[in-house]
């Protein structure tokens, strides 16, 4: 399970070589970026989702540190339209897991953070000041909340990785938003956008860096231009297959896997085709 980067770490003292090795792991191809390595870049580019945790307790103050990192991310007009619930009670984690595809890492991680789009706080402030917060009724406000919540959570993820912890986003918490809202006692206009499991990675079951699409497929200059899209996707399918072989995973084209994932049926099965109606039920206007 050792990666190209880990080998490079052992064999070369040159930190720029380390960055190149990290980039090779990410793309399964060389990417020449003449920038000096630093610890933060290393943390970012070596990111992996961790789904196997040790039972070890987290350091005292971890939650507060992650929330400080999260609150330090940008916020549109400084509206700060999010909150977070830190769940550590095993029984509550188990109930939340059963609402989110029963993923084992929710049971296993000592900490499960629920990241909430929270328009309720602004709504109540508006009430208190007799300034009705009608702007919150629009899809734009929900979207702004989702963006800010995501920026915040991602800064928390980088922070936790910098102190040796691992995490995994749990989008499946959106399978049953009303039930999740009831479990967490959410007021109106608050929505659990995603969960995040947090813990010490189990070194016996290490996670791997997932290769991504070639930059040519996602990065454009001046205007959008994706004429060579099929070519880049085919290259990625091949590179991901070589990764899957290494990992002793079933070999499968990414393009086939992704297209199956966005067929109507899967969304319908996991309940998320009803999201718009459920959000209305939770109080969001989405006008």
Smallest separation (angstroms) from its own copies to the CB of 42:
9
The strand pair at 190-199 and 82-87 is best described as: unpaired
Query: H-helix or E-strand containing 260?
Result: helix 254-261
Site for its own copies in 209-248 (CB under 8 A): 209-210, 212-213, 215, 217-226, 229-230, 233
Q: Which of 4, 54, 86, 178 binds its own copies (CB under 8 A)?
A: 86
- Choose one: 2-10, 62-70, 97-105, 197-205; the region binding its own copies (CB under 8 A): 62-70
Q: Is 171 in the site for its own copies (CB under 8 A)?
A: yes
Residues 6 or more apart whose Cβ sits within 8 Å of residue 51: 103, 104, 105, 168, 197, 207
Q: Which of 12, 29, 56, 76 binds its own copies (CB under 8 A)?
A: 76
Smallest separation (angstroms) from its own copies to the CB of 271:
9
Nearer to its own copies, 2 or 89 (CB): 89
Q: How far is CA 83 from CA 70, 148, 186, 191, in A?
A: 10, 10, 11, 10
Q: Is 54 in the site for its own copies (CB under 8 A)?
A: no
d(C-alpha 252, C-alpha 45), whole Å:
24
Number of residues this chain uses to bind its own copies (CB under 8 A): 135
Q: Is 2 in the site for its own copies (CB under 8 A)?
A: no
d(C-alpha 94, C-alpha 165), whole Å:
21
Query: H-helix or E-strand containing 113?
Result: strand 111-118
- Choose one: 3-11, 43-51, 97-105, 242-250; the region binding its own copies (CB under 8 A): 43-51
Nearer to its own copies, 106 or 209 (CB): 209
Q: Which of 9, 15, 54, 65 binds its own copies (CB under 8 A)?
A: 65
d(C-alpha 115, C-alpha 96), whole Å:
13
């Amino acid at each position: 399970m050792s990666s190209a980067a880990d080998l490079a770490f052992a064999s070369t003292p040159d930190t720029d070589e380390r960055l190149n090795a990290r980039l090779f792991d990410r793309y399964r191809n060389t990417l020449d970026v003449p920038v000096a390595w630093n610890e933060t870049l290393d943390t970012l580019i070596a990111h992996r989702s961790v789904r196997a945790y040790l039972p070890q307790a987290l350091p005292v103050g971890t939650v507060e540190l992650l929330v400080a990192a999260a609150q330090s991310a940008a916020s549109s007009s400084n509206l700060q339209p999010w909150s977070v619930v830190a769940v550590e009670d095993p029984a509550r984690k188990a109930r939340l897991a059963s609402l989110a595809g029963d993923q084992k890492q929710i049971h296993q991680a000592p900490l499960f953070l629920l990241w909430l789009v929270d328009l309720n706080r602004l709504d109540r402030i508006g009430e208190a000041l007799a300034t009705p917060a009608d702007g919150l009724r629009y899809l734009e406000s929900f979207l702004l909340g989702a963006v800010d919540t995501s920026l915040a959570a991602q800064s928390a993820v980088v922070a936790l990785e910098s102190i040796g912890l691992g995490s995994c986003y749990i989008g499946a918490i959106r399978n049953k938003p009303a039930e999740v809202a009831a479990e967490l006692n959410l007021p109106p206009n608050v929505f659990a956008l995603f969960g995040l499991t947090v813990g010490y990675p189990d070194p016996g079951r290490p996670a791997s860096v997932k290769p991504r699409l070639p930059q040519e497929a996602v990065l454009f200059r001046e205007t959008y231009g994706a004429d060579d899209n099929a070519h880049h996707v085919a290259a990625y399918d091949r590179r991901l297959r070589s990764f899957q072989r290494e990992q002793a995973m079933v070999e499968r084209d990414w393009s086939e896997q992704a297209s199956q994932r966005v067929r109507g049926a899967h969304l319908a099965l996991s309940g998320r085709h009803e999201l718009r109606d459920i959000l209305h039920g939770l109080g969001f206007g989405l006008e």
